Amino acid sequence: MLTRKQHELLSFISDRLGETGVSPSFEEMKEALDLKSKSGVHRLVSALEERNFIRRLPNRARALEVMRLPEGMKSLAPTPRLVTTPPAAPRAPLPVLAAANDVLEIPLHGRIAAGVPIEAIEGQTMLSVPAALLGPGEHYALEVSGDSMVEAGILDGDYALVRRQEQAHEGDIVVALVHEHEATLKYWRHEGGMVRLDPANRAYDPQRYAPNEVRVQGRLAGLLRRY
């Protein structure tokens, strides 16, 4: 049996889903339930999760799925049209709540040079990234070191959000692995039979390699900057 606050929260989430299909934020939940802090919301969400009323989706900070509702509680949904035959089809499962300010956890693989190539990136932690900055595919993050890409708006200390792939189009900004042990962030271009890695800083010269000396590790998908 749910407490009054648990019941109110589940009802609020379910109604918001029926109205917009978008999960309310923790701040909106706090205000709707007249709670003093978001820690109270976290406790209520955890209690509902333990009782299998809701489920947190993996790798998403504020994405929930409503698994079931208590007896007598109805989800807010558009009023169905009146029909006689055939019988109404079974109701589809409740859609997933994905907050507009959803956050994903992606691997952070250390630092990468935006200047002279450095040793290949090592180590791995996780970085929280707004989902809106990422498209489809598998992604990882790298901390930028150097200033050779400043004219492309990529600054020292930025986090490069990289889509993992092994192919690139002419002019893409890529993570290039040179001689299998040095990684750098550059424009990917071809010149004759060579691969040319172009900086975005007039103080640096392009780097030229034979095709078997360099390979693509991913393409730049976005940037994250902390002030």
50 vs 188, higher pLDDT: 188
What CATH number does the domain located at 4-98 have?
A: 1.10.10.10
- How far, in Å, CA of 217 to CA of 227, rounded? 28
Q: What is the pLDDT of residues 104-149, one digit of tens each?
A: 888 888 788 776 665 556 556 888 888 777 878 888 889 898 899 9
Give the closest residue to 75 by CA, choosing from 63, 84, 87, 67.
67
Q: Lowest mean pLDDT of 73-82, 103-112, 199-208, name the range.
A: 73-82
Q: What is the pLDDT of residue 123?
A: 57
**Report field, pTM of the whole predicted structure over 0.85:** no
The tokens for 43 are: 């406790």
| Residue 219 pLDDT exceeds 90 | yes
Q: What is the pLDDT of residue 88?
A: 45
Percent of the chain with pLDDT over 90: 26
Q: Which amino acid is at 12?
A: F
With contact defined as beta carbons under 8 Å apart, do 194 and 187 qualify?
no
- How far, in Å, CA of 35 to CA of 198, rounded? 54
Going from the C-alpha of 120 to that of each of 7, 136, 142, 214, 218, the distances in angstroms are 52, 25, 11, 12, 14
Residues with catalytic function: 148, 186
How high does pLDDT run on average in the chain? 78
Q: What is the pLDDT of residues 35-49, one digit of tens each?
A: 887 777 778 888 888
- How far, in Å, CA of 204 to CA of 201, rounded? 6
Q: What is the pLDDT of residues 154-164, one digit of tens each?
A: 999 899 999 98
The tokens for 24 are: 């309310």
Report the pLDDT averaged over residues 99-107.
69
The tokens for 119 are: 């040793």
Maximum average pLDDT range among 33-47, 87-101, 130-144, 196-210: 196-210
107 vs 174, higher pLDDT: 174
What CATH number does the domain located at 103-224 have?
A: 2.10.109.10
Q: What is the pLDDT of residue 129?
A: 85
**Could you state, in order of their start, the residue ranges of all structural domains in the chain?**
4-98, 103-224
DSSP code at position 131: G
54-56 sheet: strands from edge to edge: 54-56, 63-66, 97-98
- In this prediction, residue 153 has a pLDDT band, given cuts at 50, 70 and 90, of very high
- How far, in Å, CA of 199 to CA of 203, rounded? 9
Instruction: Locate the DSSP E strands across the chain.
Output: 54-56, 63-66, 97-98, 103-113, 118-119, 125-130, 139-145, 159-163, 173-178, 182-191, 194-198, 207-209, 214-224
Q: What is the pLDDT of residue 82?
A: 32
Angle in degrees, 0-180, between the axes of helices 4-20 and 38-50, rounded to the nearest 10: 90
| Residue 20 pLDDT exceeds 70 | no
